[in-house]
Structure 1
Amino acid sequence: MASARKKLQGLQREITCSICRSYFSEPITISCGHSFCRTCLSRSWRLGGTPSSCPECRQMAQTTEIPGVNGRLAEMTDLVKQLCSENFQSDEGQRQCASHKLTFKLFCEDDQKPLCVRCAQSPEHGAHKLSPVVEAAHNCRKKLQVLQSLLEKHLEEAEKLLAGEAIPAVDWHWMITEEFNKLHHFLLDEESLYLERLKQDERAEQDTLSQHVHTLQDLLTELQEAGHQPNVDLLWEVKHLLGRSASVLSQKAKAVSPELREYPIPGTIEMLRRFRVDIIIDPTAASPFLTVSDDLKSVKAGEGWQVGTKNPEDAVAHYVFAEQAFSSGRQYWEVDVTQLPQWILGIQNSRLSRKRKRKRKRNEDSCASVFLLCCVKKEEDYYLQTYPGSLNHRVKSPVPRVGVYLEYSSGTLAFYNVLQHSLIYRFYPILFTAPVTPIFSPGPPLPASEAGPMTLCPVDSHLNASCSSCL
C-alpha cells in the first residue's frame, strides 16, 4: 500500500506544472524537454520578452511560437487525476476519529472541522451548526471556485498592468522632475533678484559714505574760514557752526558702519532643520558666573557677573560648553536670544587650523581655536560681529533666534537669522582636526540691567510671531 502511494506521488510530480504548481492544463512540451501549461508558458514568455527561454532550465527555446498540446501528457494527466481522486475517496472513507474510532460523518461550521457522531453529541458542539460531510464539502468547493475566479480576474488585471496594456500609470518621474525644475528656476530668479538688490545696497552705502565725506570736507572748509573772520563775525556764526558740527559727528557711526542687510533665501531654514541635533549644556564646563537650568537647556548670567565698563567691547565674556562634540556629518541647532541684548555663539576646538584663502588674512586667524558670532549693543544700536572675521555691522533690530549650521567635512560654520530666513555670516573653509564643541555666552550683561536666559530650542520647536520663546 505504501509503495503504491509513493508511485502515485511520483506520477503527480510528473503531471505538475512548475510555473503554477498545479496539474497540467493543456500541457505542451518545448525543445528542451520540459513541459508546462499552455497558458502558463504563454504568460511567462509574454512578460519575459523575446527571445524566450525555458522557465525551468533557462535554455533558449528554438522558437518563440507556442507548441501544440502534448496529447499523451494530457491523457496521462487525466488518468493520474482520476487515480488520485479514487485514492482520496478511499482514504476519506478510512479516516476515523482518534477518540472514538468512528468515521467522520458531520462537519462543524463554527469550529470548521469534521466530527464523528459521538463528537457531535458532546456538549462542546451542542449549540454549533452541523452539516453532513458531503454537503459541507460541496459548499466548500463552490466557495473555492468563486475565490479562484476572483483571483484569476485579479491576476489578469495585474498582468495587463505589468505588461503596460492597461491605462498608462501616472508618470510620477516626470511630475517630480518638473516640480524640482520649477523650484530650481524659482531659486535662480530669487538669486538674481537678491544679487541685484545687493549691488544696489552696496551702491547706496557708497553714496552715503561719499556724501558723508563731502559733508565733512564742507564743514572743515567752513571752520577754517570762520577762524579767519573778525571776532564779532565769528561769534555771530559760532552757534550755527557748533550745532552743525555736533549734527555731523552724531551721524558718523551710521555713515561709517555698514548695516547688515536681510536677504531671505526661501526654504533654507526648512532644509537645515533636517540636520537638527538635540544638544544640552554641560554644567561642569560652565563659568562660575553663569547659571545653568535644571533641564540643561538654558543659561543666564549669574549675580556675580557685574560689568562696570560702559564700553561693551571691553567687557569680559564668560562661556559654557555643550555636552556634545562633533567630528563628522552635518549638525544644526537653534538658540533663542530674545531676552538678551548681548550674546555670543560659536564653536571651540583647541586644535583648529584655518585655511587662508587670501594672503592679507592675519596670521592668528589661521590657528584660531574659537569661531564666534557676537551681538553687541552700543548706545541704541545693535551690532553683529565675528571673531575671527570682518563682520561688524549694525542691524535694524535684535535677532530673536539664531540658527547655527556646522558641516565638519567641508569646514563650514554658518549663522542664520531664523525669523528672517536669511544668512548672517559664514566661516569657510575651516580645517577641523578634532571634535568641535558648541559654546555659548549669555552676555556680557549691560550695567544695571537684568538679562534673561539664552535657550537651546528643542528639535521639534517652531518660531512664533514674536519669537519670545521656543514652542
Structure 2
Amino acid sequence: MALSASLLELQAEASCPVCLDLLRDPVTLNCGHNCCGPCLRRRWEGLGDVLPCPVCQHHCPSRDVRKNTQLSVLTGLLWQLAPARSQASRQEEAALCGQHQLALGLFCEEDLELLCVQCAASPHHQGHLLTPVQQAAARHREKLQSSLRPLAQQLEEAQRGLVVQVCKTLALKDAKTQRRMEVQRAAAQLRHSLQMELEALQVRALRVATRHCRRVLRRRDRLLGHGSALQRLLDVVTRKSLQTDPELLTGLGDVHLQWGALQTPVAPPTPASTAQEEALSLPPRHVGLPDIIDKFQEDLTLDPDTAHPHVRVSADRKSAVFASKGTQPGSTPAPGAFSSRLAVLGSPGFGAGRHFWQVDVWGSGAWSLGVCGPSFLRRAPPAPSPRRGCWQYEGPSLEDAPRARVRAGVFLDCDLGEVSFYNLSTGVHLCTLRGTFTEMMVPYFCVEPSALSVAMTLVKGDAKAP
C-alpha cells in the first residue's frame, strides 16, 4: 500500500500540467516548471512574442526551451512501471464507500457520484445511467481534455487583452505626462510674456510721462518769458504815457513793434485727457509665443556684402551655408564683410519697436544667433560680447544629430533693451539678454570655425516646429 502510494505521488509529480498525463519529452522553463515538449509547442502556437508558463504565467523570453534529459529518463521508467501494477494493488487503492465500506466501482451519470453496488441498488438511483468507473473516467477525461484547448484559447485571449490594456494604460500615462509638460511650458511662456509686457508698459508709461513733463516745462518757460516781455512793455507804455508830447512820440514805432510781437498767442496747455489718451494708446497686451509671432514677425533677408568668404548666401538671400573650407567661386570679400568669424548679417536693422524672426538650422557643428550694432568689429578676433556690441545665443552643437533640424526664434524689443531666444521645435524659452541699444540693431548669424557644415534658412510662419 505504501509503495503504491509513493508511486502515485511520484507519478503526480512527473505529470504534465497541460495534458495531466506523464511527461513526454519533458522541457524545463526559465521559471523552473516542467511540461511536455509537444504540449508546450501546441500551447504557444500562434501566441507571437507572448510566451507564458502554463503554470505560473511567467513570461518566457524565447521559444527555445531546455530539454530535461534526466527527467525524461525518470518519466520513461514511470511509463514502464505504470502498466505493471497488479490488479490487487488497484483494488487495494480503490476508494471505499463510506456507508457500506464497499469499493466504489460505479459512476452515476445523473448525479455525477461514485457508487458501490449497494448504493446503486437504492431507490434513489433507480433508472439512472450507471457506468463502470474506468469507462466513466475515460469518457470524462476525454471531455476534460477536449476542453483544454478552448480554455487555453480563452486564456490566451485574456492575456492578449491584458497586454492591450497595459499598453493603453502606458499610452495614457505617457499622454498625461506629455500634456502636463505642454501645460507647464505654456505657463512658463505665459509668465515670461506677461513679465515682458508689464516691463514694456512700465517703460512706455514712464516715457510718456517724461515727454509730457518736458512739454509742460517748455510751456512754462514760454509763458514766463511772455509774461516778462509783457511786464517790460507795460513799464515802457506807462513811462511813455507820462512823458511830454515830443518825448512820447519819439521811439513810438519801437513800442508798436513790441506790442505787435506780443500779440501772437502762446499755445494753450495740453489738456490732461490728451496725456491720458496717449498713455492709453500703448500697444495691446500680447499673451503667449504665438501672439508674439503673429504681431511682430518680420520678413528678413541676408546681406551678402557682410558674409564671410566661407559663407555662401543663396540668390533669394533667404539661406546661407557656412563651410569651414572653400570660398565662393570668383568672389572677393566686400569691405564690410566678416573676416574673423564665419558670420553674416541680416537686413533690415531695427532702432525701435519689437521684432521677431525665425531661423531653421541644420548640419554639423555649433551655431549662434543674435543681434549686433553697426559698430561691432567684423575683422577683430575677440569673441562677440555685449561689451563689444553683440548679443548672441550659442546654440547646442548639431554634431550628435547631423540630420536634425532646429527652428529657433529671436524676439528683439528695442524699447526694453532685450533680445529673447526660443526653441520653436519644442516651444521652450531659451534665454533673454539685456542691454542698452543706443544704435541700430542688426540680425546676426554665426557658426563656429570648427563646424564642418551648417546651413541656416530664414522662414516666416506660425510657431509650429518644422
TM-score range, shorter chain: 0.3 to 0.5
Report the structure number with the largest CA radius of gyration.
2
TM-score, normalised via structure 1 length: 0.32
